[in-house]
Structure 1
Amino acid sequence: MIVGLLWLLGCQLAGTLIVDATGIPLPGPVVGMLLLFVVLVLRRRDAEDDPIIQVGDYFLSHLQLFFIPAGVGVIAYLAIIRDAAVPIVVALLGSWLLGLATVGWVLNLFLRRVPSVAGTEGAPGEEIE
């Protein structure tokens, strides 16, 4: 378990060092997560024996505890959130609608290019007998 935790922390540290050295506009932990992905792909071990997978499973079983800092942050900044409620709600709804429209647009493009995925052999809108 300690070995897996050291791998996770080592990848995060390496990601932070890479970001500091290169100045790329990404958070260090994100680069570390990409490094961890590369390590996991290159190692290709059995999930039962890999200490990284065991630590990841342990953290996932206690995932609800990771939401506590976010909840405390919301409570700590409740006055600011209350004062800016309208822009926050507009931003949330706008981003949701934009994401929904984007997914619909991409799906529509995909279905036009690959009509057999939709279960049809004809053009979109054609009736199948």
Structure 2
Amino acid sequence: MIVGIATLLTFQLIGEILAYEIGGLVPGPVLGMALIAIALLTMAKWQRVQSAQSQTIDTSKAILANLGILFVPAGVGIVKHIDVLVAHGLALLALIVVSTVITLAVTVWSFVLAKRIFGGASDE
């Protein structure tokens, strides 16, 4: 598991460095994830790398299986600032509802526009 974590963190560091060098156009973790995917796919044939590859995949599965624990800090933050939530709860609820409706409307509009531009199955 140590090898897997070290591999994941190394690629995240490389991604962060690349993101810094290109001006932050793409987040570092995204670049790191793309690089590790490419590395794992291209190096799968090498016998020496297969052990590290399987350890990295096993570590990734373990992290994903326990992903819920990463949300605990957000829950603690909400509880810590419950007074703000109580004071502005209705405004926050309205904001969430309105932004959700706007997001859905823009998504539908984008889909309809893309369907008109690129064509699609006719409704007839």
TM-score (structure 2 length as normaliser): 0.71
Aligned to 2:36: 39
Deviates more, 1:41-50 or 1:64-73: 41-50
Q: Distance in 1 between matches of 2:3 and 2:35?
A: 17
Aligned to 1:79: 83
Aligned to 2:113: 109
How far is the alpha carbon of 1:94 from its aligned partner? 2.2
**Quick check: 1:3–1:52 contact (8 Å CA) kept in 2?**
yes
Question: What is the CA deviation profile of residues 79-129 of structure 1, one whole-angstrom value per residue up to 9, with x for unaligned ones?
Answer: 11211223322321222112101210121123323222xxx3xxx5xxx4x
Aligned to 1:2: 2
RMSD: 3.0
**Quick check: 1:11–1:33 contact (8 Å CA) kept in 2?**
no
Q: Closer, same or farther in 2 for the Cα pair 1:41/1:13, shift >3 Å?
A: closer
Partner secondary structure for residue 115 of structure 1: coil
Higher helix proportion, which one? Answer: 2
Structure 2: runs of 5 or more not aligned: none
Aligned residues: 116
Question: Which of structures 1 and 2 has the larger relative contact order (alpha carbons within 8 angstroms, sep 6+)?
Answer: 2
Question: What is the CA deviation profile of residues 22-63 of structure 1, one whole-angstrom value per residue up to 9, with x for unaligned ones?
Answer: 76387xxx4133222222124303999533221111111112
Q: Confirm or deny that 1:54 pairs with 2:58.
A: yes
Q: Closer, same or farther in 2 for the Cα pair 1:5/1:34, shift >3 Å?
A: same
- Percent identical residues: 22
Deviates more, 1:41-50 or 1:87-96: 41-50
